[in-house]
Amino acid sequence: MKPICDLLEERVLAAMAAVGGAGAPAVVRPTQDGRFGDYQANGVMGLAKKNKSNPRQLAEQIVEQLDVADMCEQPEIAGPGFINFRLKPEWLAGRLLEAVRDPQRLGVDAAENSPVTVVDFSSPNIAKQMHVGHLRSTIIGDVIARVLDFWYGEPSKVVRQNHVGDWGLQMGMINVGAVIQALKNLSGEKNVQEYGSWEKLRGCIPLSEMVFNINELEWQYKEVNIEIKSDPWVENACREATLNLQKGEPEETEFWKKACEVSLNACHEIYEQLGVKLGLDDVCGESFYNDRLPGVIEDFAKEGLLEESEGAQCVFLEGFKSKEGEPLPLIVQKSDGAFLYATTDLAAIRYRVGELKAERVIYVTDSRQKLHFEMVFAAAKKAGWVDDSVHLEHVPFGSVLGKDNRPFKTRSGETVKLKGLLDEATKRARKIVEEKNPELSEELKDEISQAVGIGAVKYADLSNNLVSDYVFDWDKMLAMEGNTAPYMQYAYARVQSIFRKGQIDIDELLGRHEQLELNEPEELQLAKLLLRYGEIVEAVAGDLRPHIMTGYLFELAQAFSSFYTNCPVLKADEAVRDYRLLLCLQTARTIKHGLGLLGIEVIEQM
RNA sequence: GCGCCUGUAGCUCAGUCCGGAUAGAGCGACGGUUUCCUAAACCGUAGGUCGUGGGUUCGAGUCCCGCCAGGCGUACCA
């Protein structure tokens, strides 16, 4: 089904063309105020200005040409030249019925000619547990992938990429850390200073026999950082270990593989807990691009773009300036010969465009990396690796802040681990369920607290405009009132309880109805909102801004709550009862689907 | 210094890309609603120099220029 907005747009355009205004935009929008009808066309005033004609007279001419009698009441001209449309209840009813008959897509058409799209998100580091710093990328990226996947339709054109940090010096560091720790365990608090080099250190313990979990790995990593400060040779040992790994030494490689496995398993437990669709298949980390890095440099050199500056290999791009006003380079190879993240990102672009055949690549990272991506994109274009048919997009987002308006930390100043955060969310939700509905079964309480707790964290994040920072506030996100996950889930549970109480057979209900009537204002309001779902999906897919969806769902849930209190369903006369049941059905589906695109679960009871 | 982002009701924020009608929500405050499908709800009231000064326009929260405040970034971390 074509969105109502688009239908009206077409009709207005046709009418405008008929009075000599072909090519001018119709600017059809939903009205902000119900007194002006449901939709309005604002394009007439612009056209009048262009033609130097009287806007109200022009509007009259256009309205005479307008053919909208099937869907709207007689359009009205208002103010300086707005055309207002009020949709006919019977037309709305018919359309709603059509949407109800499409349980898969809810009457939302898939986009045409959608591009193969890579969504790069989450990107945690090996050897460290995921923390709040990964929260936004992970859930926003997941939402973008879900929305585009639905909007693009079958077959899927969305490729998820988890660009994990699994290479570089930190890999050597965890290796050194693990050995030091193992030695300490064997010989008490013995000082490791005597070893003096990686060669001696690694000889003490067979790397392949080491066993560790993610907590140990992380702790060891921190310990190494401390050791480096007291024993300078440790830093060299880390470099040697890293070098051995890069050379493919079997022992270091095996250790590295195990560390990756342990870390990734921990990440995937978090994804599962969060309900994020990101699998091991989607992992394509820095190490993957390792042997493609020299090629990046070579190609820049071939294109004549490579310049040496202060010992580093750089690409200079127009429009980027440093502090001193000098040209700001994109460094692709450090003076010591090592590659850095710009190099890896460039190699990744080439891989995605060249081998994954991506036509659109979306990077979901915090806004501090904006400049980095601007430069990387510019460099990739300058080198000719991407042409104008490929869209590289950075979706920047703000930080998660604590109540003090500073980056979110624990009381002792540590980074907040995602595991603990999510567990606490569920725990807090559980406490509320216990208070509100102590009679539910334990199993149900668990299910509810899971959905509500995790949903609250995600919803709170997604309902903010991406670019702004937001303050992490348990009480606010778990509140039942306001634009929150629990409010939305509650609205859904209330609809479902109607079907449960009335023992409604949905197939039978659907089979029984060839028509639908909308009479009460609450019914009409609900129907109009339900029919806007497609417009919303399109807007979210187009702008990549999930809060458009949360805003819509909130409005929908409010409209339903109002309908629910004012229009009894099960107690209504048979015909009215069925019309209302259909409204309920579509409401439930839309909330479930919309929350689904946001990666948030619904529950049948709460 | 330069660049980017942000500044809208007591608080949290939509609306700014693409200019349209009397600037919208939620929370909090105040008042009302429960013999009735989940009151984790609903209905109502109060509350705004849209940071600020200019400009463009029939029309500016929205576009342009200046200024103020905060955050972030700004050559070998990611």
- CA of A324: nucleotide with nearest C1': B1
What is the pLDDT, as a whole number, of residue A53?
Answer: 85
Question: Could you check: is the Cβ of residue A187 within 7 Å of any atom of nucleic acid strand B?
Answer: no
The label of the residue with tokens 């529950």 reads A603
What is the pLDDT, as a whole number, of residue A223?
Answer: 85
What is the distance in angstroms between the CA of the first residue and the CA of the last residue of chain A?
34
State how beta strands A312-321 and A306-309 pair.
Answer: antiparallel
Q: What is the DSSP letter of A108?
A: P
The label of the residue with tokens 């904006």 reads A370
Give the burial string for A324-361 (b: 16+ CB within 10 Å, else e): eeeebbbbbbeeeeebebbbbbbbbbbbbbeebebbbb
What distance in Å separates the CA atoms of residue A346 and residue A306, rounded to the nearest whole number? 14
pLDDT tens for each residue of A110-128: 999 999 999 999 999 998 9
Question: Could you check: is the Cβ of residue A562 within 7 Å of any atom of nucleic acid strand B?
Answer: yes
Question: Could you check: is the Cβ of residue A193 within 7 Å of any atom of nucleic acid strand B?
Answer: no
Tell me which protein residue sits closest to nucleotide B26, measuring alpha carbon to C1': A482
pLDDT tens for each residue of A337-347: 999 999 999 99
Mean pLDDT of A9-15: 93
Measured CA to CA in angstroms, residue A385 lies from A242, A348, A350, A369, A382 at distances of: 30, 11, 6, 21, 8
Is A604:A496 a contact under the CB 8 Å cutoff?
yes
- The amino acid sitting at A147 is V
Q: Strand B contacts (CB < 7 A) among A residues 146-165? A: 165
Q: Could you tell me which residues come within 8 angstroms of residue A124 by beta carbon, excluding any fewer than 6 positions away?
A: A130, A134, A162, A164, A165, A263, A267
Question: Could you check: is the Cβ of residue A606 within 7 Å of any atom of nucleic acid strand B?
Answer: yes
Tell me which protein residue sits closest to nucleotide B73, measuring alpha carbon to C1': A368
Tell me which protein residue sits closest to nucleotide B15, measuring alpha carbon to C1': A32
Mean pLDDT of A148-173: 95
Give, in Å, how far the C1' of B68 lies from the CA of A437. 52
Across chain A, mean pLDDT equals 93
pLDDT tens for each residue of A283-311: 999 999 999 999 999 999 999 999 999 99
Structure tokens at A515: 């028509």
| Selected residue with higher pLDDT from A513 and A263 | A263
What is the pLDDT, as a whole number, of residue A322?
Answer: 87
Q: Could you tell me which residues come within 8 angstroms of residue A589 by beta carbon, excluding any fewer than 6 positions away?
A: A103, A106
- CA of A342: nucleotide with nearest C1': B78
- CA of A571: nucleotide with nearest C1': B37
Q: What is the DSSP string of A119-185?
A: EE----BTTS--BHHHHHHHHHHHHHHHHHHHHH-SSP-EEEEB--B--SHHHHHHHHHHHHHHHHH
Q: Strand B contacts (CB < 7 A) among A residues 480-539? A: 480-483, 486-487, 490, 493-494, 496-498, 501-502
Tell me which protein residue sits closest to nucleotide B41, measuring alpha carbon to C1': A561
Question: Could you check: is the Cβ of residue A213 within 7 Å of any atom of nucleic acid strand B?
Answer: no
Give, in Å, how far the C1' of B52 lies from the CA of A36. 34
**Strand partners of residue A407:** A401
Give yes or no for residue A245 having a pLDDT over 80: yes
Sign (positive/negative) of CA torsion A192, A197, A203, A207?
A: positive
- CA of A468: nucleotide with nearest C1': B6
Quick one: A50 exposed, middle or buried, by C-beta within 10 A (0-12, 13-18, 19+)? exposed
pLDDT tens for each residue of A253-280: 999 999 999 999 999 999 999 999 999 9
Measured CA to CA in angstroms, residue A249 lies from A167, A182, A245, A255, A331 at distances of: 15, 20, 6, 10, 28
What is the pLDDT, as a whole number, of residue A545?
Answer: 95
Give yes or no for residue A249 having a pLDDT over 70: yes
Structure tokens at A495: 């609809």
Radius of gyration of chain A measured on its C-alpha atoms: 29
Give, in Å, how far the C1' of B22 lies from the CA of A500. 45
Q: What domains lie within chain A, and their CATH numbers?
A: 4-87 (3.30.1360.70), 169-274 (no CATH), 418-597 (1.10.730.10)
What is the pLDDT, as a whole number, of residue A190?
Answer: 63
pLDDT tens for each residue of A554-606: 999 999 999 999 999 999 998 899 999 999 999 999 999 999 999 999 999 99
What distance in Å separates the CA atoms of residue A268 and residue A145, rounded to the nearest whole number? 17
pLDDT tens for each residue of A401-447: 998 889 999 888 899 999 999 999 999 999 999 998 999 999 999 99
Plot region of A28 (φ>0 → left; ψ -120 to 50 → alpha; else → beta): beta
**Strand partners of residue A470:** A400
Q: Chain B: nucleotides under 7 Å from a protein CB?
A: 1-6, 12-15, 17-18, 20-28, 36-43, 58-59, 71-78
pLDDT tens for each residue of A311-361: 999 999 988 988 888 899 999 999 999 999 999 999 999 999 999 999 999
Question: Could you check: is the Cβ of residue A78 within 7 Å of any atom of nucleic acid strand B?
Answer: yes
Quick one: A40 exposed, middle or buried, by C-beta within 10 A (0-12, 13-18, 19+)? buried
Mean pLDDT of A495-522: 92
Give, in Å, how far the C1' of B77 lies from the CA of A306. 22
pLDDT band at A385 (very low <50, low <70, confident <90, very high): very high
Q: Strand B contacts (CB < 7 A) among A residues 294-313? A: 309-312
Mean pLDDT of A9-32: 90
Q: Which of A181, A197, A274, A263 is nearest to A235 (CA)?
A: A197
Is A182:A373 a contact under the CB 8 Å cutoff?
no
- The amino acid sitting at A66 is L
pLDDT tens for each residue of A166-198: 998 889 999 999 988 888 877 766 677 778 888
pLDDT band at A204 (very low <50, low <70, confident <90, very high): confident
Question: Could you check: is the Cβ of residue A397 within 7 Å of any atom of nucleic acid strand B?
Answer: no
Give yes or no for residue A132 having a pLDDT over 90: yes
pLDDT tens for each residue of A458-483: 999 999 999 999 999 999 999 988 99
Sign (positive/negative) of CA torsion A92, A94, A95, A100?
A: positive
Q: What is the DSSP string of A3-26?
A: -HHHHHHHHHHHHHHHTT-TT---
Q: Which of A466, A474, A456, A455 is nearest to A408 (CA)?
A: A474
Question: Could you check: is the Cβ of residue A584 within 7 Å of any atom of nucleic acid strand B?
Answer: no
Q: Strand B contacts (CB < 7 A) among A residues 364-393? A: 367-372
What is the pLDDT, as a whole number, of residue A199?
Answer: 87
